[in-house]
Chain A
């Protein structure tokens, strides 16, 4: 069975500092991996996705993520956080983007001035 672990429930980062959100997955085959962001009262917005190829993927809003098969990880990074990045971030895995996705429990990002 597929599963996703986001070990950090909350993370606080100072504005302008770098950010890394952790995601570990369990999946029996080559996974499709996703990072979504959810602002309060909003639906989920796709930040980036990985299917194959270059293990460093670029997304919207200056985010990037690196797929490491040996560590079963897909961590999300941003070099300089803005106050508007405060939101909840979800990592997800599935057999494709169209199939049933399994989401982690999310990491709430707080940005301090």
Chain B
């Protein structure tokens, strides 16, 4: 079974430029998460989707960040414009509510560097 797929794995941009990250969750998983992990810190949730609905976006900086989950499968996280402080690893995770496992499966992440 394929795991959570993320692309790109690395991205370097200049500040004020836009950037987008893509996530393909494990097949059949109805819940998708975007976390941001700053250097030396644990992951922090940005947004959580159940199917197509964003059920927790309280920590998403909505002035510059946006996300969507197309047809309840893939998801894209966008930053426009990027700031120096956005340099971090962006992790996508997925889970299957009702599947009994009660756990989240993480992708490898996208490491963003803003110059």
Interface size of A as a range: 20 to 34
Which chain A residue has the least Cβ–Cβ distance from B33? A100
Give Cα A43 to B23, complex, Å. Answer: 13
Interface presence of B22 (CB below 8 A): no
Interface size of B as a range: 20 to 34
From B41, B44, B103, B105, contact of A49 by CB (8 A): B103
**Given A43-B108, A98-B31, A103 and B102 contact (CB-CB distance below 8 Å):** no
**Given A103-B42, A105-B40, A43 and B106 contact (CB-CB distance below 8 Å):** yes
Interface presence of A31 (CB below 8 A): no
Give Cα A36 to B104, complex, Å. Answer: 10
Contact, CB under 8 Å: A98 / B42: no
Contact, CB under 8 Å: B104 / A43: no
Main SS class of interface, B: loop
> Which of chain A's residues have a CB closer than 8 A to the CB of B56?
100
Give Cα A97 to B106, complex, Å. Answer: 13
> Which of chain A's residues have a CB closer than 8 A to the CB of B103?
34, 46, 49, 97
> Which of chain A's residues have a CB closer than 8 A to the CB of B40?
105-106
Contact string against B for A residues 73-87, beta-carbon threshold 8 Å, 1 for contact and 0 otherwise = 000000000000000
From A4, A43, A49, A104, contact of B107 by CB (8 A): A43
> Which of chain A's residues have a CB closer than 8 A to the CB of B105?
46
List A residues at the B interface (Cβ < 8 Å).
4, 32, 34, 36, 41-46, 49, 51, 90, 92, 96-101, 103-106
List B residues at the A interface (Cβ < 8 Å).
4, 31, 40-45, 48, 56, 91, 93, 95, 97, 101-109
